[in-house]
Structure 1
Amino acid sequence: MDAIVRRIVTALNDEGYEAYIVGGAVRDLLMKRVPHDYDVTTSARPEEIHAVAAKQGWHTVEIQGEQFGIVVLVVDGMTVETASFRGEAYGKDSHRPETVWYAQTLREDVLRRDFTVNALAMDADGHVYDYTGGQRDIRRKRLVTVGDPHQRFQEDALRLFRACRFVGQLDFLPAKELTRAMPDAFSRVAGLSVERVVREIDRLMTTPAAYKGLDLLVRSGLGACCCRRKENGQYHEVPILPECSHLPQTPQSKPFHLFDAWFHTLAVVANTPPDLLLRYAALFHDIAKGLPGIRGRKDGRYTDYGHDAKGADMARQILLRWQKRPPFAERIAWLVKTHMKFHYFANTGQGDVLKWLRHEALEGPFRRTDELVEAVQQATALACADIRGCGHADASTEGTSSFGAYMADMARQMPVSTKDLSYDRRVPEVCGTRTGECLRILLTRVQNQNLDNDSDILAAAARKWMERQRGDCHDRT
């Protein structure tokens, strides 16, 4: 236990109150992981917690949650939520409890929690209190609800998404009773805000076993549900992720693909680093496979011509309806759109790479050269994951990685905007009020490899351009 947190627990104990760390921190300690934060539960009421804090000289932060018995303590720069034992009852709201009351015992407090591995408590001496079998489930690597899963999910529909996230975060398997109970609570998902749902999916996407959580999300049918967004005082239905629902039933042609489209997608996700943008690109890269107008057959094999362009449109639409920032959505859409072209360049040795980079510099969603370079590096990582995700034990990504490094070097030499030009004060001194016009012409010439991106060369070119402009004006007069 963190020394500062032990001080908090001990200080409450010294004043005659029960106090324990509870939830994820205990779980992580038992799994030999470093907790990213700590929560304390205590028999003390909020005013009593404040009194202990004042006596110790600790700062407290005013939060809305204090009405639910939560006091935020700041001790030596560390923030710790300290909550009174409490019970809850749920009503019409899909996430928030309808009534909250103070409980008398630790047992009452932990029995209201979501999963057994999150219902563990530990005192200042390190003794663990386990009323739900959480330690057993950690050993078995199983995610199990506290009590009846139907009741737990009916109480708070966000727990459905938290189940997916914890499966990925802990690399556990969900208990059969948990997965069977999920559909009964799907009607409650409609009352969740899209912000809460997407926040859970985002957290899932960067977990070590994200593919497991995604599999639960899609195969259970949870991804096909709708949540809601409030705009101008009105609630609007927001589909979550129905676009992935067809993938588990979408076969692919062997021998190139050993897996169906969904298992391949999960394998690609598993082979990407835990970066949110890359993981979403991996999830969406083949999302259009199997769709009408995309799925075909040629020489007895399945084809999906155009799935890259269609998938890019679908990825953009999903992310924007989730209210992701447009640049984030556009980068992911670009990676989905270009993933087949990247494979073509890397594996065939054909195609004009420079021409393609120049086109992306001119027409792509990039504002600076460093963005183009970053996108090429991301495309390389996605391509390597795509290769590994095909399931062939002897698949090599060495050539793709080398080609990606080569493309990144070329991209570094490709200015995207005039700010990427290596010009100095000589250009504005020569061009004056026409500097912007001149720089745009110089940019095009550098992109077309008619000029090197060098300050002396650009200054000379600007001087010649201005001389021609003056000559044209003189001829007209």
Structure 2
Amino acid sequence: MDSLGHRRALRPVDSVSVPSLTQAQDNAVAELMRISPVVDRLGTVFAAAGHELYLVGGSVRDALLGRLGHDLDFTTSARPDQIERLLKKVSREVWDIGKAFGTIGCNVEGGWVVEVTTYRADTYHEDSRKPEVAFGDSLEGDLVRRDFTVNAMAVDVRTRRFVDPHKGLQDLAAGVIRTPGTPERSFSDDPLRMMRAARFTSQLGFTPAPEVVGAMQAMTERLDIISAERVRDELSKLVLTDRPRDGLNVFVATGLADRVLPELPALRLEVDEHHRHKDVYEHSLTVLDQAIELEKERGHEPDLVLRLAALLHDIGKPATRRFEEAGKVSFHHHDIVGAKLARKRMRALHFSGDETKQVCKLIELHLRFHGYGEGDWTDSAVRRYVRDAGEELERLHILTRADSTTRNRRRAASLRAAYDHLEERIELLSEQEELDAMRPDLNGDQIMAILDVSPGPAVGKAYKFLLELRVDRGPLGEEEAAQLLREWAADNL
């Protein structure tokens, strides 16, 4: 197993600026003043009913970082039914997020989304896949059971008293991920917290403390009790961070990936002494980095399908690696093998059918462009490229461009120019032929009328013939298409 003493893999990312203690306090004051109208309203209602109410967890952390959004988390001594009744006094939109887990939500005028949760104490049994919820009686008991110290801080909404029994503010200023109690106890209570530590490495730019890393390495098998859906959601959150590389390195180096996504650590193929092939794992992370940059440049929101495809596009390489003559290494058909592996893994993690199909299609097609720069593609080849990509064409554009990680500047420039040319040809053909909605020149009713056949397999075969004809030759017009259809039918039906 890799050592996490390798600091390069765990360096704080640039997207988050870790504040000093003074800066954090100033940030918090400014943010609390900004949210004081909603905080004061809630505090008054809960206090009148005799209940404590604290801003807590990620809301306090983000306030200290100076980036608090419009979603606010609170914890209270009130029980769920009481929370629901009290929130109805300040909002017409109140909903049960998970009453069994103690959480009630509401919208508050001004665009605030509020979640209030009863003091909690969650515990997993050895064979359980879900936490057993026990409601607590004190803020201190609630905070000690939180995942990390930077999420175990609270602010009394009435007095503005800052509560930080586990030195979360110091850890936030130092950029350290630490647990309130022992990490072994924390991860035993909820093993998914180990994956969350990897995610926070990317999301916050923080570094897991040595004892946290040690517990993650020692307790990977505990992750097996977590439902596939919860694991999938946490993995997705990691991949969707601004800079997932650092978190993925923690995910792999601690051994968590071996339990969740073993195809990823399997990419760490040994590099031969002559460096005749790339480090496939590092290459995949670089492709993911570049896909995210292109995603931003093209004005897209963070795209889980694209990012998973970028991360997994080469997972077929370990199974297809062959050592050829003169020290060469080949990975023939790794695109097809990789798509099969991705399909199996994504199904195991309960990704949706659409997400699985989309990722697998991109993996299958990610090599299709190679060779374009060396030879002239016919219009037919360009149409086929568009047809096969379908709705994934834009994602395929990004993935293919991101897959160029060569350090040879001339080679890199040549690949960019070739793909620029391909996109220009696609755009030109699209203007001329409506490639986005590529269909045969004749529809099913016309096919049946021309061939005098009823609905059935013959119509499907004829339609497929006409579609291939459309791809190969472009728009023909109904008259020419009908003539070619009759000639084809004479020999095939």
Q: Same fold (TM over 0.5)?
A: yes
1:167 has 2:204 as partner? no
Match of 1:246 in 2: 266
1:80 to partner: Cα distance: 2.3
1:340 has 2:367 as partner? yes
**Most deviating of 32-41 and 70-79:** 70-79
Q: Deviations over 1:410-451 (max 9, x none)?
A: 6736778987357799969985976985765543432221x5
**Most deviating of 321-330 and 151-160:** 321-330
- Letter aligned with residue 392 of structure 2: A
* 8 A contact 1:144–1:175 mirrored in 2: yes
1:134 has 2:168 as partner? yes
Of 22, 45, 53, the residue aligned with 1:11 is 45
Hey, what's the Cα distance between the residues in 2 that align with 1:444 and 1:50? 61
Of 66, 69, 76, the residue aligned with 2:99 is 66
**Most deviating of 401-410 and 108-117:** 401-410
Residues 117 and 57 of structure 1: is their aligned pair in 2 closer, same or farther, counting only changes over 3 Å?
Answer: closer
1:468 to partner: Cα distance: 8.4
Hey, what's the Cα distance between the residues in 2 that align with 1:78 and 1:159? 27
1:420 has 2:439 as partner? yes
**Most deviating of 280-289 and 426-435:** 426-435
Of 321, 334, 345, the residue aligned with 1:294 is 321
Hey, what's the Cα distance between the residues in 1 that align with 2:444 and 2:363? 41
1:25 to partner: Cα distance: 2.0
Of 388, 394, 399, the residue aligned with 2:417 is 399
Match of 1:182 in 2: 216
1:446 has 2:474 as partner? no
Q: Secondary structure at the match of 1:341?
A: coil
Matches within 5 A, 1:4-403: 4-35=38-69, 37-56=71-90, 58-62=92-96, 65-76=98-109, 79-94=113-128, 96-98=130-132, 100-104=134-138, 106-124=139-157, 128-225=162-259, 240-251=260-271, 260-273=279-292, 274-291=302-319, 293-345=320-372, 348-350=373-375, 352=377, 354-359=379-384, 364=388, 372=390, 374-388=391-405, 390=406, 395-396=412-413, 398-403=416-421
**What RMSD in Å do the two structures reach over aligned CA positions?**
3.8
Q: Secondary structure at the match of 1:33?
A: coil
Hey, what's the Cα distance between the residues in 2 that align with 1:380 and 1:264? 18
Match of 2:29 in 1: none
Hey, what's the Cα distance between the residues in 2 that align with 1:407 and 1:316? 32
Hey, what's the Cα distance between the residues in 1 that align with 2:286 and 2:170? 29
- Letter aligned with residue 271 of structure 1: Q
- Letter aligned with residue 166 of structure 1: F
Q: Secondary structure at the match of 1:136?
A: helix
Structure of greater relative contact order (alpha carbons < 8 Å, 6+ residues apart): 2
**Most deviating of 124-133 and 164-173:** 124-133
Hey, what's the Cα distance between the residues in 1 that align with 2:136 and 2:40? 23
* 8 A contact 1:268–1:386 mirrored in 2: yes
Residues 141 and 252 of structure 1: is their aligned pair in 2 closer, same or farther, counting only changes over 3 Å?
Answer: farther
Hey, what's the Cα distance between the residues in 1 that align with 2:148 and 2:242? 19
- Letter aligned with residue 443 of structure 1: L
Q: Secondary structure at the match of 2:51?
A: coil
Q: Deviations over 1:37-76 (max 9, x none)?
A: 221112333344344335446554345x334433333434
* 8 A contact 1:250–1:289 mirrored in 2: no
Q: Deviations over 1:386-407 (max 9, x none)?
A: 224x466885464254134235
Q: Deviations over 1:210-232 (max 9, x none)?
A: 1222222222111222xxxxxxx
Runs of 5+ in structure 2 lacking a partner?
A: 1-33, 293-301
Q: TM-score, normalised by structure 2?
A: 0.75
Residues 418 and 153 of structure 1: is their aligned pair in 2 closer, same or farther, counting only changes over 3 Å?
Answer: closer
Q: Secondary structure at the match of 1:448?
A: helix
* 8 A contact 1:247–1:290 mirrored in 2: yes
Identity of aligned residues (%): 30
**Most deviating of 205-214 and 120-129:** 120-129
Q: TM-score, normalised by structure 1?
A: 0.77
- Letter aligned with residue 374 of structure 2: G
Match of 2:17 in 1: none
* 8 A contact 1:94–1:156 mirrored in 2: no
Q: Secondary structure at the match of 1:146?
A: coil
Q: Deviations over 1:318-339 (max 9, x none)?
A: 2233333444333322322332
Match of 2:6 in 1: none
Residues 361 and 89 of structure 1: is their aligned pair in 2 closer, same or farther, counting only changes over 3 Å?
Answer: closer
The number of residue pairs the alignment matches comes to 437
* 8 A contact 1:143–1:175 mirrored in 2: yes
